[in-house]
């Protein structure tokens, strides 16, 4: 019996150091293991910021093209409103027809531009500016041949400007969709320009010939 107790005691004594050694080596996870996870979270946050910036910049136009869009919209509204006057107040049948053509063609182009401007985050003017209101009001007070001459002279000047502006955008525009729209609209404006010059020559020429007989006696 004494031998059994002695053997058991020696066994326990040998096992104790082993248990203590095992407990000492089994250390809990250090807090340093959490640092890589935090670093990864910080690294993934940077691309998200870049994506937000790219989305906020989408759909914008260069300043020059924003100006083109707003001026085209203003000119288009003026063409429609003055065309409506011409279709009712003009004396010449050619002027009346030209006025209605302005209402139809520029009305369609205006609707296309509104849709395009919305996609590009450009706010278009809602009404005529002071310059175009003044011209409309001036024409509204006229009638007959006087209206025809004033209106067609204005249409020649406007379409000379429009053709130049749209040609420039169609050739050098930076935004592909706006550039394509300008190129598509340009032939219609060039046709308007040709018609305006021809009709203006008719209504203006009649006024010039009526004044010619008065000048002849002075030369003699």
Query: If pLDDT is split at 50, 70 and 90, which confidence band does 25 have?
Result: very low
3-state SS, residue 144: helix
Structure tokens at 37: 């996870």
Q: Where are the alpha helices (DSSP H) in the chain?
A: 2-25, 34-57, 63-89, 93-119, 130-140, 144-172, 176-219
pTM reported for the whole predicted model:
0.66
- For residue range 60-73, what is the model confidence (pLDDT) as tens digits? 888 999 999 999 99
Provide, rounded to the nearest whole percent, the portion of the chain with pLDDT above 70.
66
pLDDT (average), residues 49-61: 47
- For residue range 77-94, what is the model confidence (pLDDT) as tens digits? 999 999 999 999 999 999
Q: How far apart are CA 160 and CA 156, in angstroms?
A: 6
Predicted local distance difference test score (pLDDT) of residue 48: 45
Predicted local distance difference test score (pLDDT) of residue 34: 47
Q: How far apart are CA 117 and CA 128, in angstroms?
A: 17
Provide, rounded to the nearest whole percent, the portion of the chain with pLDDT above 90.
64
Query: If pLDDT is split at 50, 70 and 90, which confidence band does 59 have?
Result: low
3-state SS, residue 212: helix
CA angle 169-170-171, nearest 5°?
A: 90
Structure tokens at 148: 């025809």
* Domains of the chain with bracketed CATH: 62-208 (1.20.1260.10)
pLDDT (average), residues 165-188: 96
Contacts 24+ apart (CB under 8 A), 122-127: 122/61, 122/66, 122/69, 122/70, 124/69, 124/70, 124/73, 125/70, 125/73, 125/74, 125/77, 127/77
Residue by residue, DSSP assigns 67-99 as HHHHHHHHHHHHHHHHHHHHHHHBSSHHHHHHH
Structure tokens at 213: 């007989």
Q: Is the pLDDT of residue 209 over 50?
A: no
User: What does pLDDT average to over the chain?
Assistant: 78
């Amino acid at each position: 019996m004494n031998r059994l107790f002695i053997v058991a005691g020696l066994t326990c004594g040998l096992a104790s150091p082993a248990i203590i050694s095992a407990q000492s080596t089994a250390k809990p996870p250090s807090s340093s293991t959490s640092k890589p996870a935090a670093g990864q979270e910080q690294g993934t946050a940077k691309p998200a910021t870049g994506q937000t910036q790219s989305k906020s910049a989408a759909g914008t136009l260069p300043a020059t093209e924003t100006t083109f869009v707003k001026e085209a919209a203003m000119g288009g509204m003026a063409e429609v409103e003055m065309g409506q006057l011409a279709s009712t107040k003009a004396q010449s049948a050619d002027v009346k027809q030209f006025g209605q053509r302005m209402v139809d063609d520029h009305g369609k182009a205006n609707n296309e531009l509104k849709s395009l401007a919305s996609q590009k985050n450009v706010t278009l003017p809602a009404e005529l500016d002071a310059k175009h209101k003044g011209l409309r009001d001036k024409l509204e007070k006229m009638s007959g041949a006087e209206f025809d001459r004033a209106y067609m002279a204005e249409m020649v000047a406007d379409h000379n400007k429009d053709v130049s502006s749209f040609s420039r955008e169609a050739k050098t525009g930076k935004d592909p969709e706006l550039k394509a729209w300008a190129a598509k609209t340009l032939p219609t404006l060039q046709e308007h320009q040709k018609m305006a010059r021809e009709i203006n020559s008719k209504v203006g020429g009649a006024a010039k010939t009526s004044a010619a007989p008065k000048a002849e006696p002075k030369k003699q």
